[in-house]
Amino acid sequence: MSTTLTTSAPATCWACSTALGESPLLCVACGKVQPTTSLDYFHAFALARKLQIDLPGLEREFHRLSRRLHPDRFARATPQEQEWSLAATALLNDAYRTLRDPIARVEYLLKLEGLEIGEEHAGVNKRADRQPPADLLEEVFELNMQLEEMRMTQKMGESDPSLQRDLKSARTKFETLLSEVDNDLATQGRAWDEGDAATRPAAAKAMAALLDRRRYLRNLVRDVNQVLGA
């Protein structure tokens, strides 16, 4: 398992020594931009490390901080402050893109917690997004046969309405399974938010497995769409 990402940040303003509290990017007392070294995305928005987020509130805070941190506001500041402004703006943009997306938010939180997720951790010749879930082996085998048959049919300049209907039906089923995974992720996300140090590891492990399943199903739907020209 990888090491949990560092999330430390200065506790006081470098310029006036005022406690930063929940304003890690800007000092509320003197308005000075703060260094962002090792600041995680949740902390950047003064959010608890939870998966249920007030999205309208996140957007409002993003626009507010974007205006306050814009590099143009620091054109006459010291080179160090200008550098911090650029770094803070980049961090804010990355954090907003990640936290507003429910799947990216789960992935980021799990990485913060030290879980290894994604195909880069699946091992050589064992990509996580290409290993069929055990309960779908038969259906995936059938789908792959249909996809190959459709590709050959198209290569020969022919059409097969019956095969096309079968593929559309398969796509509908896998899209339904994707929706079920998203519902399960939401359930485990609530378990994480409401849990504690004793119960959260189980929720995190369940979410990591669900992400692998979701990645695989998403790729199946993509393959069908490519063949159908959708």
- Would you list the domain boundaries of the chain? 1-114, 127-228
Which of 130, 113, 85 is closest to 3 using CA atoms?
113
Summarised one tens digit per residue, pLDDT across range 204-221 is: 999 999 999 999 999 999
1-114 folds as Helix Hairpins (1.10.287)
The pLDDT assigned to 21 comes to: 77
Q: At what angle do helices 161-194 and 137-155 cross, to 10 degrees?
A: 140
CB burial of residue 45 (10 Å; 0-12, 13-18, 19+): buried
d(C-alpha 195, C-alpha 197), whole Å: 7
Mean pLDDT of 89-105: 96
What number of residues does the chain have? 230
Burial status of residue 32 (CB atoms within 10 A of its CB: 0-12, 13-18, 19 or more): middle
pLDDT for the residue 121: 52
66 has pLDDT over 70? yes
Under DSSP, the state recorded for 32 is: -
Instruction: Please answer whether residues 182 and 214 qualify as being in contact, where contact means their C-beta atoms are separated by less than 8 angstroms.
Output: yes
What average pLDDT does the structure give for the chain?
A: 89
- When pLDDT is averaged across residues 111-123 and rounded to a whole number, the result is 74
Q: How far apart are CA 14 and CA 25, in angstroms?
A: 11
Angle, in degrees to the nearest 10, between helices 161-194 and 200-228: 160
The C-alpha angle with vertex 150 and arms to 145 and 152, in degrees rounded to 5, equals 95
Alpha carbon distance 1, 184 (integer Å)? 24
What's the whole-model pTM score?
0.85
Separation of CA 208 from chain center: 12
